Amino acid sequence: MKHSNAFVPTALASAAMLALVACGGGGDDAPTSLTGMVAVDGPVRNAVVCLDLNANNVCDSGEPASAPTGADGTYSVDPSTVTEQQLASSSLIAPMVPGGLADPGTTIDMADDEATTETSYVLRQVPGKAGPINPLTTLVAEGVRNGMTEAVARTNAAEQLGIEEAKIDNYQDDPAFDDAVVVDNARLMASAVATTLEDGVPLVVGDQRAAIAEAVQNDLRLLRYTDGSNFNYQDFMLSAKAAGEAGLSLVDGRVGQVGGVATDASVLYNQAYLTSNGWLRCDSTVLVTATQGVPNRSTFCNAQTAVNYRKNVSVAGRPMADVVSELQSDSENFINTGLSTTGLLAALGAAQFPAGSNLRPGLMLTLTQPIFINSLNTDGRPQAEATSLAQLIAAKPAAGVNLATAAGSLSLGISSDESHNLRVAFTDGSDPTQGSVQYYDCDLAGNVASNCEATRTGRYIVEEYADGKVKVMRFTGFTPTVMDHVRHYVEVNTNNQVNGVTGGDWVFVARQRKPDVDSNLSSNKRLNGTAWTAMKALLGI
């Protein structure tokens, strides 16, 4: 991957509008040149475009090729040495070449004057067509290669990425990429495709309207297993659907036992997201929706939308215990994280994963930043303290803060590092909609704050959402933190819940991701349905 961050402008792709130029030579309709633009985020310099006659994804000697593109990314290929049949059946390709900026062979994205990639990959058009060459045309070309007509591939690819079909050819009029703010548009979707290519993951154009005959076991997301009476897991089940229905749906399944007693759903499903209708508990009745293909889009809890892709790394024939043991030293481990594997390894014994089993590492960029409660079980303020934001303001005056113990203040998360806590109290709470606050930086050991120092002053602002049903308190003026999110305080009451988030009236601390790319980019691993079905049967859970 070219950058430490994926989905960034140097891994993006741009469209071009120049088309086949036809005039004279070898017949009235024979083209004298094949022209267009190669682009990633912006036009690509130093790209050599060729007509890939033998479909080997390489510009071979003897294949018609352009001179290296200039700063405008335009190419021109002379097809006079090939037959009409070759012209109709061959694709124009543009290899992206890594290297130093001074190397004349390195493909350079003129949007940021950086190399387009850190690993080689190839952009292409569909056979028999000139014009733009970019990641979006490359995705369409992959659909054509797998049997779709160009029209069908374009329709499916556009729906898969949530863009207009016309943007496949030209998204240069989209706002320029800004690392500070994630903007969901075709330019960013081209980035997702380019990053997928750069990471060596095969592109797939999904048939968005295809039927799914029956429910299918999908990926394992999390497993914690001590023995058959003490465990919990989270997996996904792909729902059946009729032909003509768009995309796909997955059931977020969570199961657990403690001492042989089933864990209550309210413990397993402990998050709530703020939607346009109010607070929604993210339980098994709220389906995860997604488009089909690679990369694809998904939406969790009717609020958080992302673009993502996954690799398939075969573990077929490998002992299950070996794979589990290897994961323990992996930063993306999802099995018994922080928990002994003794009982799990004993239960797995020498069993091997069956054919078709895959480990699935993936990369995800969150496109929306909804407000959410991370734990309905632990993130509520005591009801004796406050059941409304107005009461919370009155309960935490700055005059009552104990600097030695942090008592009388509210936490806003970690500040400069894991050992420091940002806290706040109210200096003017006379207005329930806005006022002034005092911030504090405190030492943090475990979950205990102490030794606080008053730092900056700032403001609180109370905003209304969901047609005025939900109140959210935001804070401004504090020193930026190292967290990937900011903290708010919110009201959850009997009138603003969608599906029974909690009983009574409460004030919760809530979270919202920061808008920059780094804060919204994440990676994780999963185990595919085939592997998980075999493991789950062996464990008897």
Q: Which of 136, 144, 133, 148 is nearest to 93 (CA)?
A: 133
The last residue of a domain, from among 201, 228, 243: 201
Domain assignment present for residue 206? The answer is no
The last residue of a domain, from among 141, 172, 201: 201
The last residue of a domain, from among 201, 226, 258: 201
pLDDT value for 16: 32
Query: 27-36, 271-280, 387-396: lowest mean pLDDT where?
Result: 27-36
30 vs 303, higher pLDDT? 303
Domain assignment present for residue 210? The answer is no
One domain for residues 135 and 282: no
pLDDT value for 279: 97
Query: 112-116, 336-340, 402-406, 535-539: lowest mean pLDDT where?
Result: 112-116
pLDDT in tens, 48-57: 999 999 999 9
pLDDT value for 31: 66
- Residue 419: CB atoms within 10 Å: 11
pLDDT value at 98 more than 50: yes
One domain for residues 432 and 303: no
Per-residue pLDDT averaged across 232-252, rounded? 97
SS (H, E, C) 29-62: CCEEEEEEEEECCCEEECCCCEEECCCCCCCCCC
Write the DSSP symbol of residue 466: T
One domain for residues 351 and 249: yes
pLDDT value for 17: 31
Are 116 and 122 in contact by the 8 Å Cβ rule? The answer is no
One domain for residues 275 and 145: no
Confidence of residue 40 (pLDDT cuts 50, 70, 90): confident
Domain assignment present for residue 155? The answer is yes
> What total number of domains does the chain contain?
3
173 DSSP β-pair partners: none
pLDDT in tens, 170-179: 999 998 888 9
One domain for residues 365 and 383: no
One domain for residues 176 and 264: no
pLDDT value for 18: 33
One domain for residues 486 and 525: no
One domain for residues 177 and 251: no
Fill in the amino acid letter for 282: C
Per-residue pLDDT averaged across 248-264, rounded? 98
pLDDT value for 162: 98
Confidence of residue 30 (pLDDT cuts 50, 70, 90): low
Domain assignment present for residue 34? The answer is yes
pLDDT value for 188: 95
Alpha-helical (H) ranges within 16-170 are 84-89, 135-145, 150-161
One domain for residues 62 and 169: yes
Domain assignment present for residue 32? The answer is yes
Query: 8-22, 148-162, 297-311: lowest mean pLDDT where?
Result: 8-22
pLDDT value for 15: 32
One domain for residues 322 and 430: no
Domain assignment present for residue 194? The answer is yes
488 CB-near residues (< 8 Å, 6+ apart): 371, 472, 473, 474, 475, 509, 510, 511, 512
Query: 5-14, 102-111, 195-204: lowest mean pLDDT where?
Result: 5-14
pLDDT in tens, 383-412: 999 999 999 999 999 999 999 999 999 999
Q: In angstroms, what is the C-alpha Rg of the chain?
A: 27
Are 412 and 423 in contact by the 8 Å Cβ rule? The answer is yes
Global confidence as pTM: 0.92
- Distance spanning both ends of the chain, measured CA to CA: 39
One domain for residues 221 and 110: no
Per DSSP, the three-state class of 358 is strand
pLDDT in tens, 487-535: 999 999 988 988 778 889 999 999 999 999 999 999 999 999 999 999 9
Domain range holding 397?
A: 376-514
Are 471 and 491 in contact by the 8 Å Cβ rule? The answer is yes
CA dihedral 61, 62, 68, 69 (to 10 degrees): -130
429 CB-near residues (< 8 Å, 6+ apart): 393, 394, 397, 435
Domain assignment present for residue 499? The answer is yes
500 CB-near residues (< 8 Å, 6+ apart): 281
In whole numbers, what is the pLDDT of the chain averaged over residues?
93
Domain assignment present for residue 180? The answer is yes
One domain for residues 303 and 428: no
